Structure 1
Amino acid sequence: MSGILGILPGVRIVRTPVARVLGVLSGLLLVLPAAGCGLIDTGPSAKDVAKAFLSSFAAGNHAAAAQRTDSPEAARRLLTQTHESLSPKSVTAKVTDVTEGEGRNPTTIGSAVSWNFGKGRVWSYTTTMELTRNGEGWAVHWAPSVLHPDLAAQQTLEFQEHEPNPAPILGRDGARLMGPEKLVRVTVVPKAVGPDRAGVAASLAEGLSPVAPSITRQGIMKGLADTPDDQAYHVVTLRRPDYERVKPEIYELPGVRFPTRTELITAERDYASQVLPAVAEQLQDRIDGTSGWSVVTRNAAGRQVQTLHNTPPKPAKSVSTTLSDRVQKAAESAVDPLPKAAAIVAMQPSTGELLAVAQNAPADRNGAVSLTGRYPPGSTFKIVTALAALESGRVDMHTPVECPATTVVNGREIPNAHHFDLGTVPLRTAFAKSCNTTFARLAADLPPGALTTAARQLGLGADFVIPGITTITGEVPRAQQPVQRASNGFGQGTVLASPFGMTMVTASVAHGGMPTPKLVRNSRTEITRSAPEPPSQASIDQLRTMMREVVKTGTATELAQAGPVAGKTGTAQYGDGTRAHGWFVGYRGDMAFAVLLTDAGTSEKAVAVARNFLGKT
């Protein structure tokens, strides 16, 4: 081997086969890189593990995410608890940066996390995690800060929603008709009551009786029976003064709870009871505003530690109605003392804006009778019959007409009230004195659809979709038979009207055509069944004169001192004909109104209520 290997003294040369030498060298080449430079891949990288962890976490697969950590059980518990507490619509999480540690130092991974709670509510932030090696490769070193940098040990995250106070509801003059106030809900949790349910129910009903006399032991027992044991049965909602009044009697009862909530209420109990609650319900989206929300941390004791995100609530703008506080109060003071169901509706003819909708407690028990009740209108319907006759061209207000004590139409006898007989008088006088016989004859001689058309010209039978309330004006069907038209002619046949409908009638006369009713400002009323062409001006002028004559010389002279009032009285029999409702409908200036007293016997009481109402407006 001269020239290649020098021979060292004392070294013995053993000749080895070439194949064996190459095998040994090859083994050295395979072993050395693994022990030295780390060029061979031994598993997923730290970044890959972090991405897998974040992907499983975002997908809600908490068990899989936890297996990527060095403390799987602790990670799974906190991840699951957090997801349940926050209840997101979705979660996204991704790696943003990687800082590799040198030697045995951990690798630090930055991540961006977004929680989507729906309705545009997104909470985004960045955090970091450390990845360390274990016997199986890289793992996330578990700590609560992996979820959020400010989340410490023994803490949890919580999502909170913050409802704004509902917007107030205002009247036409800016007066606050409804405003937000904290109310106390009296509730009972069945499983917390104990064995003596009947005793607790009896004590609760007795304790509530001074402020809620309609609550009974039987009602509470039924409510508890129908409510799951771990849920709360809502007994009643109380204003704060009422709650404080009965608190000593009910506060210590087992299972009874008193959560509070903010709701819109009127300053005076039962004020505009059939209007304002309906406005608040129908326009809830406009009133509620935009909820706020926050994410907070809580410690092991449940105490809030830190607010991590906060979006404050945004209250809505106030809702303005057309109601007049002055007119509404006048109407309520006129009907509230009455022992039987009564209602007043008032409207501004020039605009169709409702000024008042009032009814008393007996009426409230039957629903919104002021707006949707259907009653025979009695002689107030003679306004419609008079219009139909005037529009026919057969008569005017000066035309002599007969007003006998009774008349017969196709075999049916129709009497005047108390059988009065005026003989032959001008139509205006027959209207003012309310001659049934005259108007029965006029109606019988009209075409079958004449009363229907005239009624719709004055808004009776028209259909409206009025934002804030539901209304029914009434119905005036076509009458083929003369005897049916005769009965309808003085409001005792098949015609029906609500106080709202008769207000539309008088407002249409005052305005010269049907106005479009409205309750909420900046809203539009839809007319689903419109009126025909408005009446002629000549007919309207004569109707106004005839209605004024009712107050000056007719059946409502009691109102002669109430200003330039024009109107019509009505005694409307119902049932077997032995009982009657009392009506007065009319207008004064730019205010039209209708007064209904159910089961009043005559119209005289309705006229007296109208006088009381007008005296305060």
Structure 2
Amino acid sequence: MGKRRRAAERKGVGGVRNTKVHPGVLGGAAAVVVVGVGAAAFALSGGAGSDGDGSSVDEKQVATGPPTAAEVRTTARAFLTAWAKGDVARAAALTDDRAAALTSLTSYRKDGHLTKPRLTPGRRAGATVPFKAAATVSYEGKTKPLSYASELTVVRRKSDGRTLVGWQPSVLHPELKRGDRLVTGEAGDPPIKAVDRDGGALTAAKYPSLGTVLDGLREKYGKKAGGKAGVELRVVRADADGKSASTSDSASDSATDSASAKKKDDAKALPDKTLLTLSPGTPGTLKTTFSGSLQAAAERETAKRQRASVVVVKPSTGEILAAANSNPGGFNTAFQGSIAPGSTMKVITSSLLLEKKLAGVDKKHPCPKYVTYGGWKFQNDDKFEIKGGTFRASFARSCNTAFISQAEKLENDSLTRQAQEVFGLGRDNWSIGVASFDGAVPVQSDAQMAASLIGQGGVRMNPLNMASVAATVKSGKFRQPYLVSPDVDDRELATAPRALSGSTAASLRELMHYTAVAGTAVEPMSGLGSDMGAKTGSAEVDGQKKPNGWFTAYRGDLASAAVVQEGGHGGDSAGPVVRAMLLAGG
């Protein structure tokens, strides 16, 4: 082996001194894997296993443990070389999921029209090898270069000890997830020029958090906005089952059935994404409800924090004025998050207790240190208690036991029906203009039902949902949030079967106002006037050192909610985000 290695080094095949280019042929054009100065060096023989790559496995001695540095280098080099040469069968055989890799690698050229791949590996970090990819996108006489960075990780197969590339679609391109494809051709959806409520242009460059939102708006309204499609390379997303969608069904074709449109909106967690435009289309103009000034403020506030998300809505209409996330290119937690809302849920629970006469704003209400229900022992933060206190005091201090103590007087589905019938939550029928999660308050029993009363258990919300809750309290009636007027596509907005009674709405506003001036929300709401109210929340999550911090509030005709995951107390983490929104709005 030593003689073969030295011979190989003299020929420039392996070793750190190798700076030669190894050409291959793909579609009649040169394709290369480059290993330059400063990059990891790879040997072409040994370590990558069998299946036609020139190596074999000793059946008597199966290697175990993490791949060695040499194995990582060799396996990665073999895979990249095969991919660059267009030998997709061999490249797929060098992965731990041959069938999936073969499908994706074949589609890379066939559907993506990507040729002449040039793959340049970087410095290995453990079992992971980053690399730069450069290819040419060619379609009907139109050609453009594409460059991007990706990475692969080498794993060891337990059955035979062979080292292989751990297959993920993101190896081909970092935007790809399971079932996604790269497709070049005439875009299924014409481009749009989205504008805010005042006619200002909305772009991902100016408002990073709107990237996925704008992609989603294009999918649904590209054809309706009157634009003309161009030729693009784009990521065609798979549906919720991981099945790749066709290139012609990415837009909602009918607006007459809002439930059907809603399901289609939510079939994909992320909308299709344009990576490269070979020839631009003609965009149609789409007016949204966003406020440019509020969106800018939301972007600034979330950018200051880790894992923060915020939404602002207009209670009198339901219009969405702003939405932002700390990770603007990732999952849209503001609209699609599914997270326990903690004590902000007590707004909904309080409406239930008030309607059932199980609580009154200034009536005596128990707030002991502990309450046991369904076999669980519940307690308050820092195990505080309020002796001889009222429901107003319990709400303002966010006393958990004040709510858990009423569980035995409620039916298992009481909270579910209240959330659905009054606040419009958990009915899976919102149609805001892009994909959204409409909240979930499942019917539960025993301890889980009790935990739901304080926003734990199976309850799941996001900032859009909780901003809507505050808006419903302010206006007294649920109005489905939306960011594109239903007049654009004649869709029907969701409604709630019943509104809050006048007395219940007034009591809730009184409770939230008192919390803002004398309770846990004092600091974030200080100096915001008299027409305002708020509720703090924190939600424990298994495996997290700190709970998720929540805050929801209204001021005048603005309502906002924010979550800072692992932020701790809501008043300290999410509260300042909401305060900034309420100030920015007027």
Q: Could you tell me how far 1:570 is from its partner in structure 2?
A: 0.5
Q: Secondary structure at the match of 1:562?
A: coil
Measured at CA, do residues 464 and 223 of structure 1 come closer, stay the same or move farther in structure 2, by a change above 3 Å?
Answer: farther
Q: Secondary structure at the match of 2:538?
A: strand
Matched ranges for 1:547-586 at <5 A: 547-558=512-523, 559-563=525-529, 564-576=531-543, 578-586=545-553
1:232 maps onto 2:197 in alignment: no
Matched ranges for 1:128-527 at <5 A: 190-191=26-27, 194=30, 196-199=32-35, 226=105, 227-228=108-109, 231-232=113-114, 258=144, 265-268=203-206, 270-287=208-225, 289-290=227-228, 317-338=284-305, 340-361=306-327, 364-365=329-330, 367-456=331-420, 457-466=422-431, 468-481=433-446, 483-521=447-485, 522-523=487-488
Measured at CA, do residues 217 and 232 of structure 1 come closer, stay the same or move farther in structure 2, by a change above 3 Å?
Answer: farther
Measured at CA, do residues 525 and 447 of structure 1 come closer, stay the same or move farther in structure 2, by a change above 3 Å?
Answer: farther
Amino acid corresponding to residue 285 of structure 1 in structure 2 = K
- Provide the C-alpha distance between the structure 1 equivalents of 2:397 and 2:82, rounded to a whole number of angstroms: 56
Q: Secondary structure at the match of 1:344?
A: strand
Measured at CA, do residues 284 and 458 of structure 1 come closer, stay the same or move farther in structure 2, by a change above 3 Å?
Answer: same
Q: Which deviations, in whole Å up to 9, do the C-alpha atoms of 1:514-563 show, x marking residues without a partner?
A: 10222113336856875331121110110011011111000011121233
- Provide the C-alpha distance between the structure 1 equivalents of 2:229 and 2:336, rounded to a whole number of angstroms: 35
Q: Could you tell me how far 1:315 is from its partner in structure 2?
A: 5.3
Amino acid corresponding to residue 409 of structure 1 in structure 2 = Y
Equivalent of 1:600 in 558, 563, 567 = 567
Structure 1 spans left out of the alignment, 5+ residues: 1-188, 204-215, 236-249, 293-312
- Provide the C-alpha distance between the structure 1 equivalents of 2:548 and 2:78, rounded to a whole number of angstroms: 36
Measured at CA, do residues 541 and 576 of structure 1 come closer, stay the same or move farther in structure 2, by a change above 3 Å?
Answer: same
Structure 2 spans left out of the alignment, 5+ residues: 1-24, 40-75, 87-104, 118-131, 138-142, 147-186, 194-202, 231-279
2:511 aligns with 546
- Provide the C-alpha distance between the structure 2 equivalents of 1:347 and 1:218, rounded to a whole number of angstroms: 54
1:198–1:217 Cα contact (<8 Å) kept:
no
Amino acid corresponding to residue 584 of structure 1 in structure 2 = F
- Provide the C-alpha distance between the structure 1 equivalents of 2:27 and 2:79, rounded to a whole number of angstroms: 18
- Provide the C-alpha distance between the structure 1 equivalents of 2:337 and 2:518, rounded to a whole number of angstroms: 31
2:310–2:577 Cα contact (<8 Å) kept:
no
Measured at CA, do residues 374 and 290 of structure 1 come closer, stay the same or move farther in structure 2, by a change above 3 Å?
Answer: closer
1:610 aligns with 578
- Provide the C-alpha distance between the structure 2 equivalents of 1:573 and 1:587, rounded to a whole number of angstroms: 25
Measured at CA, do residues 221 and 565 of structure 1 come closer, stay the same or move farther in structure 2, by a change above 3 Å?
Answer: farther
Q: Which deviations, in whole Å up to 9, do the C-alpha atoms of 1:185-237 show, x marking residues without a partner?
A: xxxx955763532449x99xxxxxxxxxxxx99998797552449942599xx
Measured at CA, do residues 258 and 485 of structure 1 come closer, stay the same or move farther in structure 2, by a change above 3 Å?
Answer: same
Amino acid corresponding to residue 280 of structure 1 in structure 2 = R
Q: Could you tell me how far 1:259 is from its partner in structure 2?
A: 5.9
1:347–1:356 Cα contact (<8 Å) kept:
yes
Q: Which deviations, in whole Å up to 9, do the C-alpha atoms of 1:565-607 show, x marking residues without a partner?
A: 3111000001157541000011111111110111112212111
Q: Which deviations, in whole Å up to 9, do the C-alpha atoms of 1:403-432 show, x marking residues without a partner?
A: 122222243211101111221211111101
Q: Could you tell me how far 1:275 is from its partner in structure 2?
A: 1.8
2:155 aligns with none
Q: Could you tell me how far 1:376 is from its partner in structure 2?
A: 0.6
Normalized against structure 1, the TM-score is what?
0.55
- Provide the C-alpha distance between the structure 1 equivalents of 2:383 and 2:457, rounded to a whole number of angstroms: 19
- Provide the C-alpha distance between the structure 1 equivalents of 2:373 and 2:216, rounded to a whole number of angstroms: 45
- RMSD (Å) for aligned C-alpha atoms: 3.8
Q: Secondary structure at the match of 2:298?
A: helix
2:32–2:81 Cα contact (<8 Å) kept:
no
- Provide the C-alpha distance between the structure 2 equivalents of 1:218 and 1:369, rounded to a whole number of angstroms: 39
Residue range with higher mean Cα deviation, 223-232 or 443-452: 223-232
Amino acid corresponding to residue 144 of structure 2 in structure 1 = F
Larger Cα Rg: Structure 1 or Structure 2? 1
Measured at CA, do residues 467 and 346 of structure 1 come closer, stay the same or move farther in structure 2, by a change above 3 Å?
Answer: closer
Measured at CA, do residues 232 and 415 of structure 1 come closer, stay the same or move farther in structure 2, by a change above 3 Å?
Answer: same
